[in-house]
Structure 1
């Protein structure tokens, strides 16, 4: 999850940084926007692919259910739209794409919550028993 968050941050922070490149140059700030320059979209694409791959691995590792993957598909589409359409030389467009990331977070969070609730619903009752429940069962069955 950390790798996904790091790469997603690189996407939205670099887009944000492109809106004030002139100021960065003037005051000597070394931003990712200046470092990546005209190759920004290539790098953003790589970071986006890394984000989605990491989120997919997290879903598999945590045994997520279908709502997570629906949210991941929407997240992937949002990242693709964002990276594919951003005009890195237009500050207003960069700002709009940067702000759109809040929706990405909401969609992914909703998928995680829905998937977790579905996992709890699908878990057999026997596997949900706690140690205390088992002790009560032992006492009742020994009576």
Structure 2
């Protein structure tokens, strides 16, 4: 799905992720839902803050294959690659990808094949989904 490259767009992408996971059998308060929603929040916030190009949206893709869930966030700014160096202790930002690194089973960055930009992706192994009423 496409979202405007604004804080509102990032918030809507995060909410969509949580709703989709709930539909897929991972309730809102489950560790799986909370973990993947947090990863999505960090990746979409980075797309808005560091990958923003005026007039261009970012894309969110959620794909589940068996128990593996992949979150992909694509923006149109290729020259700003994610940095995972730890910030100074008194800095107020710069820890998002450290969280992604700690929570995801794997993550990385790939260039967009046919357009400028990049996709930052993260994969999480989910527990077996539970049936929701």
TM-score w.r.t. length of structure 2: 0.40
Q: Which has the higher helix share?
A: 1
TM-score w.r.t. length of structure 1: 0.38
Q: Which has the higher strand share?
A: 2
